């Protein structure tokens, strides 16, 4: 299939998944607006359609809480209870800080929005529309970053902690196995419907997932509860690497919004120092369990998140790229980048975030390669991602050895990021 035909197919997927103000991740399984899915869609549209990319971000930010948190799901009213856990579980509308016109989850996802806005700004042909969008979104993004820097600095060292695996976007990654196994045993009053777990997902994880969400909800989404009692608190290199890149983006957007870039530059320094001091061990960034588990031994695609920092010291970049290109990751995969290192006992080529390759993480690593002037690596990541979608379609994820598709079909971020790769 030539580039033009692939592009047309990508647009058709995005149009089919468009609700009128947002793009749902895929038909069927994911009928609502998801935080980083929507933001990847905005990134994919940045060079193509400034207005639609902006609408995508604005509709997500309509779910932002008064405390700055951007929720991981903004529920669509029509199909509200099709997905579990739906709005009746999260009960966001009862919380004084949550928006009242729209139902949302009570958790967040990687803070990619400022980076997406920067790309829209950078590529927009219509400068006035882009500038107006920056001015409108900038205060919301500042509030989001303030929330992370205060409520989520559970380790007290400048990094944001996630309080549920869903917040990582890589739900079933093996890095959560140990912290989940260490959870106190509690009754799980809700069981996630099998259908929601999708093909290849370890359904056994989902009871602790729901229990964790309910405990946080039942605290009234209380920051003091998160700090003192919540049993899952983890510093994740991908979440924080994305946050750092978004702080760099806000520093560049601040003058457009008539604001001072200084606080964003300070945040970049603080997050970088936290990443290097707290998460770096044995040649990689690792996940730190703040509830006593220390640093994770297993390496996943998330360990490369801090490569998004264009000022990461060159020796660290070289070490990380060495691991990425080795037989632990790209070197032994036909279709990079496996979501878990291939030699790990937990690696599973067909199970969701435990082995398959994903278009969104390939795109992030391609971006990381570009900011470090690693043109060869960027080219391989782009070309192999296009090969995956040409061969198997816009699937949710892919077998890293034979490239066959896994999970949902017509998956929005796979289509949207293809448009960016084709541009
Ligand atoms: C998956 O996560 C949701 C929960 O948020 C699920 O398992 O039902 C993940 O792949 C996540 O990264 C993604 O945002 C979401 C929607 O595509 O699905």
3-state SS of 9-26?
A: HHHHHHHHCECCCCECCE
Kindly report which listed range (202-216, 345-359, 367-381) carries the lowest average pLDDT score.
Answer: 202-216
Residue 334 banded pLDDT, cuts 50, 70, 90: very high
Does residue 1 carry a pLDDT above 90?
A: no
The burial class, CB within 10 Å (0-12 / 13-18 / 19+), for 218 is exposed
CATH number assigned to the domain comprising residue 377: 1.50.10.10
Indicate whether 171 belongs to any domain: yes
Residue 300 zone, left/alpha/beta (φ > 0; ψ -120 to 50; rest): beta
**pLDDT one-digit tens code per residue, 287-322:** 999 998 899 999 999 999 999 999 999 999 999 999
Question: Which of 374, 234, 232, 246 minimizes the C-alpha distance to 306?
Answer: 246
Mean pLDDT taken over the chain: 94
Question: Which of 393, 237, 243 minimizes the C-alpha distance to 316?
Answer: 237
Spatial distance between the Cα atoms of 194 and 40, rounded to a whole number of angstroms: 27
pLDDT at 184: 83
**Pocket of ligand 1, candidates 13, 17, 30, 210: which has the most ligand atoms within 8 Å of its Cβ, to mutate?**
30
The burial class, CB within 10 Å (0-12 / 13-18 / 19+), for 125 is exposed
Output the DSSP codes for 163-196: SSGGGGS-TT-GGGHHHHHTSPP--------HHH
The domain of 148 spans 3-192+203-422
Total domains in the fold of the chain: 1
**pLDDT one-digit tens code per residue, 88-138:** 999 999 999 999 999 999 999 999 999 999 999 999 999 999 999 999 999
Could you tell me which residues are beta bridge partners of residue 71? Answer: 108
Q: For residues 143-151, give the mean pLDDT.
A: 98
Q: Which residues contact 162 (CB under 8 A, 6 or more apart)?
A: 108, 152, 168, 233, 234, 235, 236, 239
Indicate whether 198 belongs to any domain: no
Q: Which two tokens stand for residue 53?
A: 């990319």
pLDDT at 192: 44
Residue 368 banded pLDDT, cuts 50, 70, 90: very high
Residue ranges of alpha helices (H) inside 219-340 are 223-228, 237-253, 262-274, 314-325
pLDDT at 207: 85
Which atom number of ligand 1 is nearest to the Cα of residue 172?
7
pLDDT at 197: 34
Spatial distance between the Cα atoms of 262 and 2, rounded to a whole number of angstroms: 46
Residue 77 banded pLDDT, cuts 50, 70, 90: confident
CA of residue 396 to ligand 1 center, whole Å: 10
Residue 397 to residues 157, 170, 200, 238, 261, Cα–Cα distance (Å): 34, 12, 11, 18, 37
Indicate whether 197 belongs to any domain: no
pLDDT at 204: 45
Indicate whether 61 belongs to any domain: yes
Indicate whether 390 belongs to any domain: yes
Spatial distance between the Cα atoms of 335 and 382, rounded to a whole number of angstroms: 11
User: How many residues in the chain?
Assistant: 423
The burial class, CB within 10 Å (0-12 / 13-18 / 19+), for 156 is exposed
Say yes or no: CB of residue 192 within 6 Å of ligand 1.
no
Question: Which of 13, 19, 45 minimizes the C-alpha distance to 408?
Answer: 13
pLDDT at 79: 66
Residue 29 banded pLDDT, cuts 50, 70, 90: confident
**pLDDT one-digit tens code per residue, 164-196:** 999 999 999 999 999 999 998 655 444 444 333
Say yes or no: CB of residue 166 within 6 Å of ligand 1.
yes
Kindly report which listed range (64-73, 109-118, 198-207, 333-342) carries the lowest average pLDDT score.
Answer: 198-207
Question: Which of 223, 70, 238, 241 minimizes the C-alpha distance to 154?
Answer: 223
Residue 68 banded pLDDT, cuts 50, 70, 90: very high
CA of residue 35 to ligand 1 center, whole Å: 9
Q: For residues 317-337, give the mean pLDDT.
A: 97
Which atom number of ligand 1 is nearest to the Cα of residue 26?
17
Spatial distance between the Cα atoms of 40 and 61, rounded to a whole number of angstroms: 14
Indicate whether 243 belongs to any domain: yes
**pLDDT one-digit tens code per residue, 217-259:** 999 999 999 999 999 999 999 999 999 999 999 999 999 999 9
Single out the catalytic residue among 341, 396, 410, 420.
396
**pLDDT one-digit tens code per residue, 387-404:** 999 999 999 999 999 999
Burial 91-102 (b: 16+ CB within 10 A, else e): ebeebeebbeeb
Residue 206 banded pLDDT, cuts 50, 70, 90: low
Indicate whether 414 belongs to any domain: yes
Which atom number of ligand 1 is nearest to the Cα of residue 35?
14
Spatial distance between the Cα atoms of 134 and 128, rounded to a whole number of angstroms: 10
Q: For residues 56-61, give the mean pLDDT.
A: 98
Spatial distance between the Cα atoms of 137 and 113, rounded to a whole number of angstroms: 9
């Amino acid at each position: 299939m030539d580039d033009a035909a692939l592009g047309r197919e990508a647009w058709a997927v995005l149009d089919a998944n468009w609700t009128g103000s947002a793009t749902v991740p895929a038909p069927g399984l994911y009928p609502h607006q998801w935080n980083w899915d929507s933001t990847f869609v905005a990134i994919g549209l940045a060079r193509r359609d400034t207005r639609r990319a902006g609408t995508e971000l604005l509709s997500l930010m309509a779910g932002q809480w008064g405390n700055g948190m951007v929720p991981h799901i903004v529920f669509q009213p029509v199909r509200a209870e099709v997905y579990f856990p739906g709005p009746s579980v999260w009960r966001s509308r009862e919380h004084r800080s949550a928006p009242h016109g729209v139902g949302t989850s009570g958790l967040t996802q990687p803070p990619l929005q400022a980076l997406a806005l920067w790309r829209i700004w950078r590529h927009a042909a219509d400068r006035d529309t882009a500038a107006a969008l920056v001015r409108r979104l900038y205060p919301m993004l500042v509030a989001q970053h303030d929330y992370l820097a205060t409520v989520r600095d559970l380790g007290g060292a400048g990094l944001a902690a996630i309080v549920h695996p869903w917040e990582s976007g890589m739900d079933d990654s093996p890095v959560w196995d140990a912290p989940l196994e260490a959870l106190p045993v509690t009754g799980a009053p809700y069981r996630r419907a099998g259908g929601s777990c999708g093909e290849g997902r370890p359904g056994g994880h989902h009871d602790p997932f729901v229990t964790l969400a309910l405990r946080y909800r039942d605290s009234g989404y209380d920051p003091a509860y998160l700090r003192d009692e919540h049993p899952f608190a983890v510093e994740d290199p991908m979440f924080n690497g994305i946050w750092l890149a978004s702080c760099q983006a806000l520093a560049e957007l601040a003058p457009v919004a008539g604001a001072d870039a200084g606080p964003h530059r300070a945040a970049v320094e603080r997050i970088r120092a936290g990443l290097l001091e707290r998460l770096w061990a044995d040649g990689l960034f690792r996940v730190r369990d703040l509830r006593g588990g220390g640093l994770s031994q297993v390496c996943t695609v998330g360990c490369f998140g801090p490569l998004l920092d264009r000022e990461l010291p060159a020796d660290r970049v070289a070490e990380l790229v060495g691991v990425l290109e080795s037989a632990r990751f790209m070197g032994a995969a036909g279709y990079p980048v496996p979501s878990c290192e291939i030699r790990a006992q937990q690696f599973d080529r067909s199970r969701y975030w435990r082995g398959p390759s994903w278009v969104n993480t390939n795109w992030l690593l391609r971006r990381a390669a570009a900011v470090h002037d690693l043109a060869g690596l960027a080219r391989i990541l782009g070309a192999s991602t296009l090969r995956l979608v040409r061969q198997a379609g816009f699937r949710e994820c892919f077998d890293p050895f034979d490239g066959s598709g896994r999970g949902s079909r017509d998956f929005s971020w796979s289509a949207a990021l293809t448009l960016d790769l084709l541009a």
